[in-house]
Amino acid sequence: MEKGYTITAGPLPGLLGDVAALHGRYYARDWGFPTYFEAKVAREMGDFLQRYDTSRDRVLSVSGNGRVLGSITLDSSDPDAQDGQAHLRWFILDEALAGQGLGKQLLGDVIAFARLAGLTSIYLTTFRDLEPAGTLYARAGFRIVAEEAGATWGQEVVEQRLQLDL
């Protein structure tokens, strides 16, 4: 990968803290989310890493300068996922990586993994007006299957559930 960044499949040291921090900083700065959201990311990702199954789950990270600068997770061991379904989670890139096509590459890689694993669908929870992520999801074939106001993120937003049938 150019510019000294590497993409790694699987958990690695520092992943949890760096991904939680990326989420905490971005969502506080750009959306006004409280530290509750960063703690939620850390707690839920910690639970995922304890049940991580290489045959069903996928985590990809982008690293540079000794830290994780981006990540995406396909969580098919999520207790809330239906059989054959995976939960797309914790997709974030440091703003310094924007515009390089990394988001598209990471998303494409986890979708390909899901297909190889025999999964039937991928879903994610996001919120309205979160761009450029919304555009990326739409281009990959995700569609909105539910939308309602909620405070799951620690602040009220119009939450959306997106799904991609494989």
For residue 1, the model assigns a pLDDT of 41
For 65-91, what is the mean pLDDT?
93
Domain ranges of the chain: 2-120
Q: Which CATH number fits domain 2-120: 2.60.120.680, 3.40.50.10860, 3.40.630.30, 3.30.70.270?
A: 3.40.630.30
* pLDDT value of position 50: 95
pTM above 0.85, yes or no: yes
pLDDT at 45: 97
Going by C-alpha positions, the residue among 96, 56, 95, 103 that lies closest to residue 75 is 56
Two tokens, residue 73: 């997770």
CA distances from 89 to 2, 22, 65, 72 (A): 25, 13, 24, 6
For residues 8-35, average pLDDT: 94
